[in-house]
Structure 1
Amino acid sequence: MHKTLYILLVTCIVFASCSSRKKTISDRQARRNNKTIQKANKEAIANYQAYTAQSYIDRFKTVAVQEMNLYGIPASITLAQGMFESGNGNSELAKVANNHFGIKCNGWNGEGYYKDDDNANDCFRVYKNPEESFRDHSDFLKKKRYAALFELDKNDYEGWAYGLKAAGYATNPQYPQLLINVIKKYNLDRFDRPETDLQKIKREDRVLAEINDNIGQPAKDAVVQETPVDKYYIVRQGDTLYNISKRFSLTVDELKALNNMADNNIKIGQKLVIAQ
């Protein structure tokens, strides 16, 4: 009996030790890994031109606007985060790993660069180029905890700044104001663009559908197909007669007529006729 218990105890200790090694990396392994990445990027690092705040903005304003148009993240927010997180593109992570947003390796299948941060030898994502970092920043935000931000107007940078902090993007209590200060100092909101109600609805539906796909859940809330599969639509949280009518190319009066409605009041779970 004692021998059996001893064997079980040793097995558990070995297993725990192996599991621990999988989750951490030694200083020697980190240095060896980082040297490999630095060697691979030796030419790019050697030819690296330091950015000023203005040259950083000039270099990345186009990609920030592209990401805004795709997902609704204000270009001013993306630029401000990139400038703040990467020291205007001059940080070690930006120069060696093309990582402009300090995104770590959690859920990442690519190369990692190790650097002390919250923990010793934290793993940060390595990108082929800065543009890949900007795209991954948008993808990184397509998580359930950030979903409400994509329902904001795409030029509501203050809402995004405070929303990022509330959703846990940063631990610094001053993070929203730091971003807002950068935006105001460099007039970054000049790159933000408003959108029509219909554009906003379509973008929200598309991005929220992608978020739901990412978390393996069926589409909900404002996520619907633009072309109805039948004649009915079930009212969801956040819906109004106006945005429902826009989704299905109707006017509010047409929608009310189809449903014999005397007013604009609707409730969650209500079944509406949206086609004859």
Structure 2
Amino acid sequence: MLFSINDNFFKKTLLKIVLLTLFFITLNSRCFSQSVTQNYIEEHKDFSVDLMNKYHLPASIILGVAIHESGSGTSKIARYLNNHFGIKGYNNSTQIRSAYKGFEVAEDSYLNFIDILQSRSKFKILFNKYSDYDYRSWAYGIQRGGYAASRTWASQVIAIIKKYKLYELDNRPIDYVEPVEAVKVNIYYKVKPGDTLGKIALKYHTTVKNLMKRNNLKSPILQIGQKLRIK
């Protein structure tokens, strides 16, 4: 019996050690990732600001896209091809086989990114449409233009910009205030005796069709105590 107790104690202690080790590995990994990104920003922010001042698109977009597409300069195409924007094309590298374009230096890939935006009709309209600090509109505009296949590409770039406060590099008006995005709140209703979908729809200024669709209802028949999502 004494052996069993000690054995259980040993197992619990070992489990705690493993969990603590995993925690610190994860923590160190996150700190390392943030440190790499901060170093990347310091290295490329001045050039990004110069490009913003010359071509009039947000420096935050330039850096945000570069960070996203190159993994803060750690991706293979960034390390071997100096390609920081995921641009496809010819390369003569003997170090990796890749369908991505090769550049002599990283700054050349930054310039090529600007050239793509300026030369393709789906992107060049953005220069007349958006200011050089409206990074949200730029991100969604570039996504709509087909820069990336992912539907979440723009939101991922925006998240990077916000996380590292890259918008502070942009040419924002002195009185400009960074907008606070509204938090979406779902509203639910608990069905009471005598309730019908028609009554509930009328109360919340919606339709029976919308309520059925939002709640995946196949029948308008309700159960007392049933929860309905209104918004």
TM-score tier (shorter)? 0.5 to 0.7
Q: Which among 102, 105, 114 is matched to residue 129 of structure 1?
A: 105
Overall identity of the aligned pairs, in %: 35
Asked if residue 188 in structure 1 is aligned to residue 166 in structure 2, the reply is: yes
Asked if residue 139 in structure 1 is aligned to residue 123 in structure 2, the reply is: no
3-state secondary structure, aligned to 2:100:
strand
3-state secondary structure, aligned to 1:162:
helix
* 1:165-222 deviation line (CA, Å, top 9, x unaligned): 1111111001111011000000000000048xxxxxxxxxxxxxxxxxxxxxxxxxxx
Structure 2, gaps ≥5 residues long:
1-34, 174-231
Task: Check whether the contact 1:101–1:137 (CA below 8 A) recurs between aligned residues.
Answer: yes
Instruction: Write out aligned runs for 1:47-196 (5 A).
Output: 52-105=36-89, 111-113=91-93, 123-142=99-118, 143-151=120-128, 152-194=130-172
2-side partners of 1:172 and 1:114: how far apart?
Answer: 30
Residues 114 and 139 from structure 1, CA distance in 2 versus in 1: closer, same or farther, beyond 3 angstroms?
Answer: farther
Whichever residue aligns with residue 148 of structure 2, its letter is A
Match of 1:205 in 2: none
2-side partners of 1:114 and 1:80: how far apart?
Answer: 29
1-side partners of 2:92 and 2:85: how far apart?
Answer: 14
Residues 189 and 93 from structure 1, CA distance in 2 versus in 1: closer, same or farther, beyond 3 angstroms?
Answer: same
1-side partners of 2:95 and 2:51: how far apart?
Answer: 28
1-side partners of 2:122 and 2:92: how far apart?
Answer: 25
2-side partners of 1:115 and 1:155: how far apart?
Answer: 39
Task: Check whether the contact 2:80–2:95 (CA below 8 A) recurs between aligned residues.
Answer: no
Residues 127 and 156 from structure 1, CA distance in 2 versus in 1: closer, same or farther, beyond 3 angstroms?
Answer: same
- Greater Rg over alpha carbons, structure: 2
Please, what is the CA RMSD of the aligned residues? 2.1
Report the number of matched residues: 137
Residues 83 and 67 from structure 1, CA distance in 2 versus in 1: closer, same or farther, beyond 3 angstroms?
Answer: same
Instruction: Write out aligned runs for 1:207-222 (5 A).
Output: none
Q: In the TM superposition, what is the alpha-carbon distance from 1:72 to its structure 2 partner?
A: 1.3
Structure 1, gaps ≥5 residues long:
1-50, 196-276
TM-score using structure 2 length: 0.56
Ranges of 4+ aligned residues in structure 1 off by more than 6 Å: none
